[in-house]
């Protein structure tokens, strides 16, 4: 399947490849997307168009979930660093208080 809406395959590293020509979908684009009908004698929508669009939506969703997971990891890392800093500060304050 090599439709016009299909994004490039990711490189072997598993990371999602994004070219400058590919822009992430916006909610209004999903809501307003229309598919061409199939050829004469067939009913429904062109399956290649539908599957290409679904692939693009799934790719964008995967990117959002990956970014969310990375954000959560970063938040946990920052919170842990802050806790360590607070512990160090409290320990230093206690040591100064005992030395007096």
User: Residue 4 contacts by C-beta under 8 Å, 6 or more apart in sequence?
Assistant: 52
Return phi, psi of residue 58, to 5°.
-60, -40
**Per-residue pLDDT tens digits for 59-69:** 888 889 899 99
23 or 82, higher pLDDT: 82
Confirm whether pTM is higher than 0.75: no
**Per-residue pLDDT tens digits for 28-69:** 888 788 878 777 777 788 888 888 888 888 888 888 989 999
**Domain segments of the chain as ranges:** 27-99
Q: Which of 24-28, 72-76, 84-88 has the lowest mean pLDDT?
A: 24-28
Checking if the pLDDT of 5 tops 50, the result is no
């Amino acid at each position: 399947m090599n439709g016009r809406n299909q994004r490039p395959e990711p490189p072997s590293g598993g990371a999602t490849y994004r070219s400058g020509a590919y822009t992430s979908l916006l909610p209004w684009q999903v809501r307003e997307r229309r598919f061409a009908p199939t050829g004469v004698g067939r009913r429904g929508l062109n399956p290649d168009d539908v599957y290409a669009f679904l692939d693009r939506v799934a790719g964008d969703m995967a990117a959002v979930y990956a970014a969310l997971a990375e954000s959560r990891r970063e938040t946990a890392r920052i919170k842990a660093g802050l806790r360590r800093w607070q512990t160090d500060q409290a320990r230093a304050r206690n040591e100064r208080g005992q030395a007096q």
